[in-house]
Structure 1
């Protein structure tokens, strides 16, 4: 089957391409940069804000996986808003125009308001409509609204909402992976207490394919993993690599109390690591339910410890099991 993947050179895209080609699919990989050459993959350049470009690159695809997004911790970013909203509509409109059988849109857990969810998030939880939320959160929800406009015109599409994605294979040095790798090398003496739902990138890739095969038109599927305490996760990374573990964790209450002072100081030094946007999920720590994906897609994420061990092995250059989860 011929499929197309936007944002194919990214962290998730790299893992999705591997799984698609392993299944024998012919893949058109769409990105501004070309990723690694591999059998069954044709790289093309495309602009998700250009309707003509998208119709050309998606032509002939039976299934379209839309991964492109601009991630930012800023409160306002016009380009991020356009790519995460208008870009979704342009790709969806092009998929409908070329006769694609289905589109799988990769949204985010950030499309749900983690601050007003009552400590738990499922597909019925409040959405990110609050204007005080970071632009990424608001734009991911608006992107889903734009997609539904095209679904109403006849496009068969489903929406997946991954949580915090981590694990191998990663050539992008994503924030979570970098933190765990720093810990694995004994470079994280102190950690912040708290945690959030983390999911192996290989499981997300498998979940996207399952959604394309089994998902119901217009439905959302949360692709979560396991609630992961970051203090314990960094200690596990250090332990499996034989390095010194973080000694203690700073309580989240202390971080919350100091945020009004710490955030502007960090900003002055050009860092966004200490901000409401960066710390929000860690401080709110909602439990994410993925029962719907389990029941309807056969989705079963692997244990967090396995992902951490595989990630450390990957960064150490050791061979890892690149196979994704086995969807039931």
Structure 2
């Protein structure tokens, strides 16, 4: 039986991935700083950090495959250096240890945020042309450097594949990852001030299925974008209005004004409140660069076929409005997309 380690396995994507692996009959171990919202039977949970070299050395023992999902996903921290320490440093620890311990295959989970160029004229640049200074902020810089390290390890002969989710959504996102937090903030606004940009939303269950496909079928040193549908934020807000029944006034903001305003909010958070602001300059820069992303490579090479995003978007919004408070604790439920391609039928996602 294949033994698998999932770092960050108690996070939003991680718990769906672990559920899918268990349904496939895999022997799974999870390394995470936080406890699971619902512990799955036959899963070994280890509490700890990917920065703890001795612990990582221990949990990798006897493991055949590693899914490295652990990281800091938000756009703001009191100490900006934590992004680099965890996202980049943690990746080096995990991949370096896995290689030394003879792990047969590793999947590194990246992010779409590093793929958007500052200038549209640069959009055809090769992956290795990504530069730290071209990133819109400390979070994306740390994730770009982590992916670069993973790619370098693959180039040197270690079997590493890159999975790159876009913006996963779904119910029971207890950590309020950036996509869920964005939806929550808009639901709570009396006037929706927004910067209209393209968002690529995807059912988190389809992402989990895609990560497994990338591990099984992906080519070493290649990145696979695991997304859903690219739609305008304005359309997301229309769906939100329909689901909530609220006729919330909407006001589109100029990109420069949005970035300036977010910068002020971040300044106050950094120096006064020390609490997460409702927006960051890095987040606005990502939005201003955002464009439609193609999942054609993942479809062609992996057999990845996500389902339509509107049903899960409506489900997520309804849950955030409170209709999900009386539901049972999180249970893995198949997505429409996960049922649409044969290789994931046995995954139970």
Which of residues 127, 130, 134 is equivalent to 1:127? 130
TM-score when normalising by structure 2: 0.82
Deviates more, 1:132-141 or 1:206-215: 132-141
**How much does 1:95 deviate?**
1.5
Contact 1:231-1:249 at 8 Å conserved across structures = no
Structure 2 distance, partners of 1:86, 1:182, is 31
Match of 1:249 in 2: 251
**How much does 1:206 deviate?**
0.9
Match of 2:233 in 1: 230
**How much does 1:138 deviate?**
1.3
Which of residues 49, 52, 56 is equivalent to 2:51? 49
SS at match of 1:130: helix
Q: Deviations over 1:43-94 (max 9, x none)?
A: 0123312332112101122211000112343597222102111211211122
- 1:122–1:188 distance in 2 versus 1, CA, 3 Å: farther
Match of 1:290 in 2: 295
Contact 1:111-1:137 at 8 Å conserved across structures = yes
- 1:9–1:188 distance in 2 versus 1, CA, 3 Å: farther
Contact 2:106-2:159 at 8 Å conserved across structures = yes
Match of 1:32 in 2: 33
Contact 2:116-2:286 at 8 Å conserved across structures = no
SS at match of 1:30: strand
**How much does 1:200 deviate?**
1.9
Mapped pair 1:272 → 2:273 = no
- 1:113–1:2 distance in 2 versus 1, CA, 3 Å: same
SS at match of 1:171: coil
- 1:258–1:281 distance in 2 versus 1, CA, 3 Å: closer
How many residues are aligned here? 324
Match of 1:15 in 2: 16
Gaps of 5+ in 1: none
Which of residues 143, 148, 154 is equivalent to 2:146? 143
- 1:55–1:262 distance in 2 versus 1, CA, 3 Å: closer
TM-score when normalising by structure 1: 0.87
Contact 1:29-1:43 at 8 Å conserved across structures = yes
